[in-house]
Chain A
Amino acid sequence: MNRSFTYRTSLLFLAALAALWTLFPFAWYFLVSLTTPGHIPRRFSFPDVLTLDSYTSALFGSGAKGISANYSILPNIINSFVVAGLTVIGCTVLGFGAAYVFSRGRSTTLAVLFNALLVIRMTPAVSLAVPIYLMISAYGLSDTHLGLSLVHTMLSLPLAIWLLKGFIDGIPTELEEAALIDGASVLQVLRYIILPLAAPGVAVAACFVFLASYVEFMFASILSRGSSDTLPIAIAGYNSDHQTFYNEMAAASFMSMVPLFIFFYFAGRYMVRGLTMGAVK
């Protein structure tokens, strides 16, 4: 009924508006990443120089511009991956068994504990900043990968457990019941039955935990004193007191998209589940 020309045209018009709204800021910024200092358009126009120089100088640093303090973001990429990797290990190891218990157990205590996780996830991180800062420095762990990943593990643990529980819920109980009757121990059941079947779910949960740590800004900035700066800190740091590298900042921003892009490509369909902590599947 509603397939008239006007209807379809107005749909297309709205779609174009929406696309403009989401993509235009990117497009402009992308052009900036392809120019060099002095060639960013001063008025609404196309840049006169297009080059990948900013990408190489963001990646490897550059003294070529005469101001040698343009730093390479490679160490920051490594920091980000190490911290996120440790966080993934922490969340998976701590969360997997508990997710299994939450999935199979039925009791009020479990329900309360499970909801408590949601409260933790929703607590403003900045409210914990002072005590966590004091704790991490008291253990001598500030400016270390381990210190930051301990905090990120705490922030992502609820999400990991909720997601893993959702995936384990989808595994039928017959197999493990049979195994338990045959005398298998709980650990054996977890290792040989649940883990292989839940592997895709573990991977998805790991991705979410990884990305949550990868993009986290506040704790990364509080706990680092420079040498363990993660990528978001490095990107924002391109605009510092004494120097500003607009082009490298843009180039680094776009390079930082890569892990998120890969994730969306492979696991995009689990996105909604992760965003709602499994409440919407």
Chain B
Amino acid sequence: MSHMVSSVARTDRLGQYLLGALLALPFLYIAVFYAYPIYKVVSLSLRDFQIAYGIDDWIGLGNYTELLSSAETWRTLGRTLLYTAICVSVSFGLGLGMALLTVSLADAFSERFGRAFRHIVIAPMIFIPAAAGVMWAFAYTEHYGWVNHILIALGLQAYPWLVSDAAFFLVMVTDIWGWTPFIYLILLAALQSLPQEPIEAARVDGANAWQVFRYVTFPLLKPVIVIALTIKTLDTYRAFDYLWIMTNGGPGTSSTTLNLATYKAAFQNLDFGKASALAVITMIFPLTVMILFLTFRRRGAK
């Protein structure tokens, strides 16, 4: 511990041990509840482990070869990435748009108006995701839901939305509705703390609104955007609540992402071995992104 510098280094030997213990405390916990499960999930993925049938055999990469040779696994992976890509990009577009709108409103009317608008935009964040899931599922029913009611009022036919090919995309709508405020809040905070001088200078030089945004505001926002997008991407990739509550992954498997596939294999089919292999496959993408992100950040810091 002696290589720790700064004020902490000035404590005596006992103090250093104590600090080491304080640091070790959460990591011991993480070792038990994170590192061990990770080790366990990898080792389980090499077994045919079906607890309810008393089957527990080592089969090497059997689960992986079975999964990777199945077209369904690849479709599931594609679906997961599609879900992530659409939700993140639309949320980002909407969030950025609404953040710019908030700044413009505050500018054109009053600070107070901008704040009020902000309160409205972040409203979905104070709803439990499970509640948002049931709320949106309800909105798509034919008899009580406003979506079909509007269609009927317009003289169109009601449609069983959540039992159709549209279901997967409708869950995305919920995800976008629920998580746009996340991007919005981060970008708004960043926009409001931007230095005003370069923007004013650009305006004086005769740049139009788009040029100011493209050549001044956007580059200044970039570091924050990278952070927001990274977190949002990985959170969307992990998404479970909306999909599970609204469609259960259906109809068929048309809205089953890797998360749901893992869950179904584990807790519906009770096939823990295959579920573990799926869990490991699921982890590959976020780990890659995290490593890229951290490398990128370290290089940026240097």
- The interface of chain A, by Cβ under 8 A from chain B, is 2-3, 7-8, 11, 14-15, 18-19, 21-26, 28-29, 32, 40-44, 94-95, 97-98, 100-102, 104-107, 110, 113, 115, 118-120, 122-135, 150-151, 153-154, 157, 161, 173, 176-177, 180-181, 185-187, 214-215, 217-218, 222, 231-233, 235-236, 238-239, 246, 249-250, 252-253, 256-257, 260-261, 264, 271-272, 275-277, 279-280
**B144 CB, min distance to chain A CBs, angstroms:** 5
Please determine whether A32 and B144 come into contact, CB atoms closer than 8 angstroms.
yes
List chain A residues, Cβ under 8 A from B25.
94, 97-98
Please determine whether A275 and B186 come into contact, CB atoms closer than 8 angstroms.
yes
Please determine whether A235 and B130 come into contact, CB atoms closer than 8 angstroms.
yes
Which residue of chain A has its CB nearest to the CB of B266?
A: A130
List chain A residues, Cβ under 8 A from B286.
122-124
Known contacts A11-B104, A236-B130, A256-B128; A41 and B117 CB within 8 A of each other: no
B77 within 8 A of A: no
Of residues 200 through 245 on chain B, the ones whose CB sits less than 8 Å from some CB of chain A are 209, 224, 227-228, 231, 234, 237-238, 240-241, 244-245
- Residue-wise interface mask of B (157-192) relative to A, using a CB-CB cutoff of 8 A (1 in contact, 0 not): 000000000000000000001000110011001100
Distance A238 CA – B23 CA, assembled complex (angstroms):
44
B7 within 8 A of A: yes
B86 within 8 A of A: no
Please determine whether A25 and B139 come into contact, CB atoms closer than 8 angstroms.
yes
Which of A151, A173, A252 is close to B33, meaning CB atoms less than 8 Å apart? A151
Which residue of chain B has its CB nearest to the CB of A18?
A: B98
Q: Is the interface of B mostly helix, strand, loop or mixed?
A: helix
Distance A238 CA – B137 CA, assembled complex (angstroms):
13
Please determine whether B290 and A105 come into contact, CB atoms closer than 8 angstroms.
no
Known contacts A94-B26, A113-B27, A260-B128; A180 and B10 CB within 8 A of each other: yes
B199 within 8 A of A: no
Which of A7, A125, A246, A257 is close to B126, meaning CB atoms less than 8 Å apart? A257
B53 within 8 A of A: no
15 residue pairs bridging A and B, Cβ less than 8 Å apart: A23-B120, A94-B25, A97-B25, A101-B22, A104-B4, A107-B5, A115-B294, A122-B289, A124-B282, A130-B279, A134-B272, A151-B33, A157-B26, A235-B134, A253-B127
Please determine whether A125 and B240 come into contact, CB atoms closer than 8 angstroms.
yes
Distance A215 CA – B179 CA, assembled complex (angstroms):
14
Please determine whether B29 and A44 come into contact, CB atoms closer than 8 angstroms.
no
Please determine whether A181 and B290 come into contact, CB atoms closer than 8 angstroms.
no
B251 within 8 A of A: no
What is the count of residue pairs linking A and B with beta-carbon distances less than 8 angstroms?
291
Please determine whether A14 and B120 come into contact, CB atoms closer than 8 angstroms.
no
- The interface of chain B, by Cβ under 8 A from chain A, is 3-8, 10-11, 14-15, 18-19, 21-23, 25-27, 29-30, 33-34, 36-38, 40-41, 44, 98, 101, 104-105, 108-109, 117, 120-131, 133-136, 138-139, 143-144, 146, 149-150, 152-153, 177, 181-182, 185-186, 189-190, 209, 224, 227-228, 231, 234, 237-238, 240-241, 244-245, 258-259, 262-263, 266-267, 272, 275-276, 279-280, 282-283, 286-287, 289-290, 294
Please determine whether A186 and B11 come into contact, CB atoms closer than 8 angstroms.
yes
List chain B residues, Cβ under 8 A from A261.
126
List chain B residues, Cβ under 8 A from A135.
33, 36-37, 40
**B11 CB, min distance to chain A CBs, angstroms:** 5
Distance A215 CA – B8 CA, assembled complex (angstroms):
37
**B76 CB, min distance to chain A CBs, angstroms:** 13
List chain A residues, Cβ under 8 A from B259.
124, 126
Which residue of chain A has its CB nearest to the CB of B135?
A: A29
Distance A28 CA – B140 CA, assembled complex (angstroms):
12
Known contacts A101-B23, A249-B134; A218 and B228 CB within 8 A of each other: no
List chain B residues, Cβ under 8 A from A106.
4-6
Distance A238 CA – B27 CA, assembled complex (angstroms):
39
Please determine whether A235 and B131 come into contact, CB atoms closer than 8 angstroms.
yes
**A98 CB, min distance to chain B CBs, angstroms:** 5
List chain B residues, Cβ under 8 A from A272.
185-186, 189
Given contact pairs A18-B101, A44-B152, A217-B241, a sample of 19 additional A-B residue pairs in the complex whose CB atoms are under 8 Å apart: A11-B105, A14-B101, A18-B120, A23-B123, A107-B3, A113-B23, A120-B34, A124-B259, A124-B286, A129-B267, A131-B36, A131-B41, A135-B36, A253-B135, A257-B127, A264-B122, A272-B185, A279-B227, A280-B228
